[in-house]
Amino acid sequence: MLDFFSNLIANLFFIFERFHWIDVVDLLLVTLVFFTILRLLRDTQAMVLMRGALLFVVVLSLLNSLRVLPAFSWLVQTTFPVLVFAIPVIFAPEIRRALERLGRAGALMPENVSTGSVDTIASVVTAAASLSERQHGALIVMQRRDVLDEYIQTGVKMNAQVTPQLLLQIFYPNTPLHDGAVIISGYRLVAASCVMPLSSSGVLTSSPERQMGLRHRAALGISEVSDAVAVVVSEETGSISVVHGGRMIRRLDPDRLENILHAFYRTAQPTRGFRYTFDRIFFGKSPEDR
């Protein structure tokens, strides 16, 4: 036993004697890469796919190591390059989302910054409260830095001043514009009945409640591909939610909704620095939003 511990200590000293500061940097970079990948895949269907792919690779490696299966080993060695090329296809949505997040993080100059006025926020809060009382479903998307022209083109352009009455009329049941989302840019209601991308994350499927439908999936979807803030009113329960950066805050009252929107649009001004860039890349939001 004494010889075992002596050999263990000797081996540890042998490793540390050859351990250089560049090795520490190397390990930190590898850790950072894996942390970033897991962070981007969290709460998405890709996490399930990745676990299945890892299990598949481990099983194949174990079977391939058996010398008594030469035909199977040949099959694995032949098909493995094809599996490597298939990975970008399988994880294409997550790769695109990561690149979009990287691109948004690099936008340090104040271009296309959309600021919400006090009157606009007050109108949205008033309309959301009224819609909640009447249990009329609604999806209001408030543009920030990222331009939403791609989604504005899918709806009916209005370019009108934002008022509670206009929002209530748009989302009144069975009216021509009540389906889809309203997009607000600055002081103007740009378009209504817009089609939003549906979220592919597991945030809603993992929820024990079932009151969240397509509006909530659409709100999560637009928040995953842009820095917009989405306000959702549930048609079933009248619950008010705010979505940003793929995260949802639920069961809000009008006062809390107003405070959250003011907090978001106070941070819409240009913010520079390493901390801002780091958080936009790895967390998808600025330090003030976290």
- Give the integer Cα–Cα distance in Å for 270 and 283: 18
The pLDDT score that the predictor gives to residue 158 is 94
Q: Determine if the pTM surpasses 0.75.
A: no
Closest CA relative to residue 232, chosen from 132, 84, 148: 132
Q: Which two tokens stand for residue 289?
A: 């939003």
Taken in order of first residue, the domains within the chain and their CATH numbers are 2-105 (no CATH), 118-268+275-289 (3.40.1700.10)
- By CB neighbour count within 10 A (0-12 exposed, 13-18 middle, 19+ buried), where does 215 fall? buried
Closest CA relative to residue 59, chosen from 51, 70, 48, 47: 51
CA-CA distances (angstroms) from residue 203 to 219, 242, 247, 279? Answer: 12, 14, 8, 21
Closest CA relative to residue 125, chosen from 237, 265, 258: 258
CA 83 to mean position of chain CA atoms = 27
The pLDDT score that the predictor gives to residue 232 is 95
- Give the integer Cα–Cα distance in Å for 92 and 43: 16
Q: Which two tokens stand for residue 83?
A: 């599996």
Residues of the chain with pLDDT under 50: 106-114, 208, 267-273, 281, 288
Instruction: Look up residue 199 and give its amino acid.
Output: S
Q: Which long-range contacts (CB under 8 A, 24 or more apart) does 91-94 make?
A: 91/46, 91/49, 91/50, 93/46, 93/200, 94/40, 94/41, 94/44, 94/46
The pLDDT score that the predictor gives to residue 116 is 56
Closest CA relative to residue 188, chosen from 163, 155, 164, 161: 161
